[in-house]
Structure 1
Amino acid sequence: MRSKFQILHCYRTFYPESQGGVEQVILEIVQKIDNSCVLTLSDRPARLKLGGEVDVVAKKRWCSFASCCIGPGLLSELYRLHTPLLHFHYPWPFGDLAYFLAGRSRPLVITYHSDIVRQRLLGALYRPLMHRLLSQADRIVATSQNYVDSSPVLAAYKDKVKIIPIGISEQEYPQPTDDQVAEVAQRYGRDFMLFVGVLRYYKGLEYLIRASVGQPYRVVIAGRGPELRRLMTLVKDLGAQNVAFAGFVSDVEKGALMRLCRAVVFPSHLRSEAFGVTLLEGLMYGKPLISCEIGTGTSFVNVDGETGHVVPPANPAALREAMNDLWLNPDKAERMGWAGRQRYEKLFTGERMAAAYRKLYDEVLSERGLAR
């Protein structure tokens, strides 16, 4: 039976149950492209609408191994939701298996968010299925030319790769009131260095903390994740009294933090960080950026010397030098922030990303003799 939906996004989790960059990208796309829905897994299976308009079908998550969520209920739902086009978000090995068991023959778009970096054994076992899926795809979307050029996997599929940078929509971000900004300022002050994100192993936060010791400015780390306890212990051991953990923050609180900070610091040091939505948010709020050169889209978002500083990865001294430069030179920080805002408006709006995906969907369906 043909579904009322035309585009089905499939990924291991969804927003707001988890708030990583991939989840935000999926939400941005489905909010802007009609007749889209999301199929995912959750500990709390449900059918729901996000924001009153985005349909999400969450099947039961049975277990998770090396970040690979597994739930056989996904198979029957994928078959039942017989949408004309499937949009899978890579990497997710169980999702790939589900495609071949219940979704094959339908047009397939894959957004390639990241190489598998840490799970080398899983990557080796998964490689045959991965190449089979990528070979089957009608299009593979990469989020930057930087990642295409540096990914050994994508090198084999350049003839079907399309580059669509991630975009975010300013209107989707609730603006804090002056009172809400003042409340956050009372907790953390102003002109601090800000990190926002899930506290994962590849985020480079250990190096940020080491870079912060003894500096005159505060460093605020907003977010939660598996590295929190280890990082809090490190702060205590180093006596880094200027480092504050904000924990989970709402979108309103995040907006207030962005308005109050001097710069956004994004110290990810491994290729698992393919783009960095937080960097886009920094551009959108007109803040200078500090990131690391890891051969991915982070250096496409943040142009060294123009929108901020790009430093070597896993290098506390380089991070400290970049933060000190923006701390000691507020006029430079303001100029870089202004340049970042212009770059956001030119390249990274949500509507620009959605328009590119609409065009891509239409091309794929047309090539298959289908119409959206």
Structure 2
Amino acid sequence: MRIGLLTEGGYPYVSGDARLWCDRLVRGLRQHEFEIYALSRTERQEAEGWIPLPPQVARVRTAPLWTAGDDGSIQGRRARRRFTETYAELAAVISTARQPGAPQDAPETDGPEADRFGSALYALAELARDTGGLIGALRSEAAVRALEQACRAPRALQAVRTVRVSELLRTAAHLERALRPLSLDWYEDDGLGSVDLCHATAGGTAALPGLLARHFTGIPLLVTEYGVQLRAHYLGTSHETPPAVRALLASFHRLLAAEVYHRAACVTPGNTHARRWQERCGADRDKLRTVYPGMEASRFTEVGEATDRVDPRTLVWVGRVEPAKDLICLLHAFAEIRKEEPRTRLRIVGAPAGAEGTAYLGQCRTLAAQLFPDEADGVHEIGDNPVSFEEIGGPEAPDLPDAYAAGAVVVLSSVVEGFPISLVEAMFCGRATVSTDVGAVVEVIGGTGLVVPPRNPRALAEACLALLRDPERRERLGAAARARALELFTVEQNVAAFHDLYLEIVSHSPVRRVLVDRTGEPLPFGAPAEAHLPGRWTEPRLPRGRPRWAWEPGEATPTVRATGFQEAVPAAKGA
């Protein structure tokens, strides 16, 4: 099977999101052939290069999102008029779509609003294909005028009716960046048109090439979201962003997310927290299959089996240093702990995340110096602060298991969290954990650790003290946590789940091409003979409540007018 792996700002680059799990997935599925279609986010990411790729990666095609050169397309009067009309329709639906203030406000993804957005999006894609690209057009004065006209319309959102020219320019620039995949030449028979399945490793812009491949050639699309892109957009929007820009971009990303979920053959959230977000944003429940991230457990095996290395008076925090981790709360909680247990120590292990993380780390160091002054107190010597800040190289650092090994209890104090990787690593190491109730924390630990409300230093301190004073309870919880992690969060379960999903989706997709060997000769039994026989019995028949992976009634079938299963497979795991 040939898989088109779609990434944004991650694999196969040295630095980026989803790099580790994508590499583990590709290496674990040696029986399949992968083609990688990667969108890079920064010039630095491009300059750092790629990680070593396994032999099953047949090709890598990249495109930058951080720069947009002239695509060289020359549009005549008819093409310009066609673009203006199509972009105006897209702007109209964005400016009139009601803006959800929270994920509880579910969008109407099956109504006229969604249909208009999808029709305008694919019309722009067809225009880009006909003219050679739309980068210049999307940045043109005509695009800005179309946005302005849509915002001044009577049905426009209240927040956008007073939009300024500078805000229109900012919105148009963001939309051009998000729609840049429309101008790529990835959708012909020598690109995504030759794969059996598109697997987008994120929603939003990363999944857009998969939407276009499905539109042009009928390639089925699988979308994996370990962090919901729409949620990331909401959280990443600055409070200083003008209301009009915020409303327009929120509408666009919500509609794009709904279109991705609607057209995908299957959507795989990484946890129930992400799954709820996807359902609120319009994803069909029958298409959702939970597949937990796969993590390498072998490097933590020695720590999990050794109990003599534990310091019973040490708390450990591991992660990226940033405000969302709320280390300020942890330091205040530790001050309460020290009043009860003066010999306790706290190790904060991790690197700052960008300039904001560096500034936050400075605040934490200053607070630690104020709460625990370097003076002899009968327990520690002068200059021996009970709080230590240590930096490691990253998630693959060889000394990461040693960080977990040094403590009796691992603490997570976040106020915002997706899938808590540090908790899973602590569970592999057999460590008892104390965590705040955010994101997928409760789902991950499943009763093998203590959970407290976020932003509550006193509750965090009491939970840590309860485990520090009860070594037998720590050991029981640590052993249960390790067993749970080895059952649910290993690379092996992740690879097996996606292997089953690949086979299931492709088995319900029509045969579109003849498989050939290296010499160009047809490959015997590459496609089953019964797929070419006419008759209703060859159509996919799924149990009630399961999606029709191939197409919907009234939808144009792909190139070869044939249905049927390529291979019978069992139901996918991880649902």
TM-score class normalised by the smaller sequence: 0.7 to 0.9
- Residue number in structure 2 paired with 1:236: 366
Identity %: 21
Q: Aligned to 1:110, what secondary structure does the other structure show? A: strand
Shift in CA distance, 366/276, structure 1 to aligned 2, threshold 3 Å:
same
Q: Are the aligned partners of 1:206 and 1:231 in contact in 2 as well (CA < 8 Å)? A: no
Gaps in structure 1 of 5+ consecutive residues? 177-181
- Residue number in structure 2 paired with 1:118: 235
Cα distance in 2 for residues equivalent to 1:172 and 1:103 = 40
Q: How many residues align?
A: 352
Alignment of 1:92-241 (within 5 A): 93-101=204-212, 104=215, 105-115=218-228, 116=231, 117-119=234-236, 121=246, 122-149=249-276, 153=280, 156-171=283-298, 192-213=314-335, 215=338, 216-226=344-354, 227-238=357-368, 239-240=370-371, 241=385
Q: Which of 415, 426, 440 is the matching residue for 1:282? A: 426
| TM, length-normalised to structure 2 | 0.54
Cα distance in 1 for residues equivalent to 2:449 and 2:268 = 27
Q: For residues 177-225 of structure 1, give each alpha carbon's deviation from its aligned partner in whole angstroms, at most 9, with x where no partner exists.
A: xxxxx9xx9xxx8853222222344333332233223632223232331
**Deviation for aligned residue 1:74:** 9.8
Residue identity in the other structure for 1:224? P
**Deviation for aligned residue 1:338:** 0.7
Which of 1 and 2 has higher RCO (CA within 8 Å, sep 6+)?
Answer: 1
Residue identity in the other structure for 1:127? R
Q: For residues 267-297 of structure 1, give each alpha carbon's deviation from its aligned partner in whole angstroms, at most 9, with x where no partner exists.
A: 2222xx2221222111111111222222x32
Alignment of 1:254-273 (within 5 A): 254-270=400-416, 273=417
Q: Which has the larger radius of gyration?
A: 2
- Residue number in structure 2 paired with 1:352: 493
**Could you tell which deviates more after superposition, 327-336 or 338-347?**
327-336
**Could you tell which deviates more after superposition, 324-333 or 355-364?**
324-333
**Residue 302 (1) aligns with residue 300 (2):** no
**Deviation for aligned residue 1:164:** 1.3
- Residue number in structure 2 paired with 1:85: 197
| TM, length-normalised to structure 1 | 0.80
Gaps in structure 2 of 5+ consecutive residues? 69-172, 238-245, 304-308, 339-343, 372-384, 512-565, 568-575
Cα distance in 1 for residues equivalent to 2:210 and 2:425 = 33
Q: Are the aligned partners of 1:192 and 1:262 in contact in 2 as well (CA < 8 Å)? A: yes
- Alpha-carbon RMSD across the aligned residues, in angstroms, is 3.6
Q: Aligned to 1:291, what secondary structure does the other structure show? A: strand
Q: Are the aligned partners of 1:15 and 1:24 in contact in 2 as well (CA < 8 Å)? A: no
**Deviation for aligned residue 1:313:** 1.5
Q: Aligned to 1:314, what secondary structure does the other structure show? A: coil
Q: For residues 289-345 of structure 1, give each alpha carbon's deviation from its aligned partner in whole angstroms, at most 9, with x where no partner exists.
A: 222222x322111123xx211111222222222222222222221211111111122
Q: Are the aligned partners of 1:96 and 1:130 in contact in 2 as well (CA < 8 Å)? A: no
Query: Which protein has the bigger strand share?
Result: 1
Q: Aligned to 2:411, what secondary structure does the other structure show? A: strand
**Deviation for aligned residue 1:162:** 0.7
Q: Are the aligned partners of 2:21 and 2:293 in contact in 1 as well (CA < 8 Å)? A: yes
**Deviation for aligned residue 1:147:** 3.9
**Deviation for aligned residue 1:33:** 1.5
Q: Which of 422, 436, 440 is the matching residue for 1:292? A: 436
